[in-house]
Amino acid sequence: MGIRQALRKFFIGIDSSDSPAAPVARVDIMRPEGLRYYLKAVPTRQASAKRPLVIVLHGSGASAEQVLGLAFPFSPLSVWLEIAEREQVVVIAPDGTKQRGQRAWNDGATDIASNPTCDDVSFVSTIIDRAIAEDGVDPERVYVIGVSKGGMMAYRLAAELAPRLAAFSALLAAMPQRAGYRLPEQPPSALIVAGTADPFIPYHGGKAFITLRFLAPALSVEATAALWRKLAGLEGEPTVDDSGSVVRHTWGTPSESAQVVLLKIVGGGHAEPSRKKRYPGLFDRFPGRQNADLEIAEEAWAFFKDKRRSSQGHFVSDPLAEALQ
């Protein structure tokens, strides 16, 4: 490796995508809080059937552009554009609202005053409606994936939009210890991905001092997974696959009404696993090491693609206490 390439790898990162990607267009939408927008990628080939929809939620301080690979640094979730073109998937990345100078989500955590106050659940629900009406999306195959604060928003959407979702994935995120929303009795399937050395989202729960007022105290990652599998009625021991760098815990099977998978990234920091999209090597020092043994967007698509929504409906009465009993 030459000096120039090594410097680029350390300061800029690597984007080694080599597959066709679906084109991206911006869509503006007026909301009670003002003008909002989302980025939409629709495959170039004509669809022979209704397409699945994947909603991708960026992290705090990032943007719809960044999470789809249109702004620095290279996002592993931008691989969804390749999946969209290859698998006939519509991909939509909403943009959060600006709060204290950075984009964020109203993820429902009650212990943090810096959250936006807008109705992001309604915003995403409206996006789903429009995609079904305008882009031939299959209402039985709607999925959500979010990273960091976007992952926390994914938990809220999985709770409040449970009847509309077939599955969701939360990356580098845990449930808040106190949430201002109810949990569904029949949840969508869940893929939870977290690093054991994440400096922002402690794997064992609580609150990292460096997050100041931007994050609320969280459950541990394993308690978060336990919550969703309890809601799904998956109380047995998991199937465990330990590759050394990734420990996969699986409750349920793809054929069941719900499935929960926890991917424990051993030594992983606050960085989505990827082989193609590598954050700058500088980031390995902080916010931590990026695993290269998984392509997280492909992993999520493998989890999502055969799942359909079930007949969900009622909610538990207490947001978290009843689920954790």
| DSSP H helices in the chain | 3-11, 64-67, 80-87, 120-134, 149-160, 221-231, 296-304, 321-324
pLDDT range class, residue 312, cuts 50, 70, 90: very low
Asked whether the predicted pLDDT for residue 216 surpasses 90, the reply is no
Q: Give the mean pLDDT of 6-19.
A: 86
DSSP 44-79: SSPPSSPEEEEEEEPPTT--HHHHTTSSSSPPGGGG
Asked whether the predicted pLDDT for residue 133 surpasses 70, the reply is yes
pLDDT of residue 52: 98
pLDDT range class, residue 288, cuts 50, 70, 90: very high
Q: Hunting for tokens 């882009």 — which residue is that? A: 135
pLDDT of residue 239: 97
For 92-119, how does the pLDDT look when each residue is reduced to its tens digit (9 = 90+)? 999 999 876 678 899 999 887 778 889 9
Per cent of the chain over pLDDT 90 is 77
The class of domain 3-324 in CATH terms is alpha beta
Asked whether the predicted pLDDT for residue 322 surpasses 60, the reply is no
Q: Give the mean pLDDT of 41-61.
A: 96
Residue 39 and residue 29: Cα distance in Å, rounded?
Answer: 11
pLDDT of residue 113: 73
Q: Give the mean pLDDT of 136-154.
A: 97
Tell me phi and psi for residue 249, to 5 degrees. -110, 125
Asked whether the predicted pLDDT for residue 320 surpasses 90, the reply is no
pTM summary value: 0.94
Domain positions in the chain: 3-324
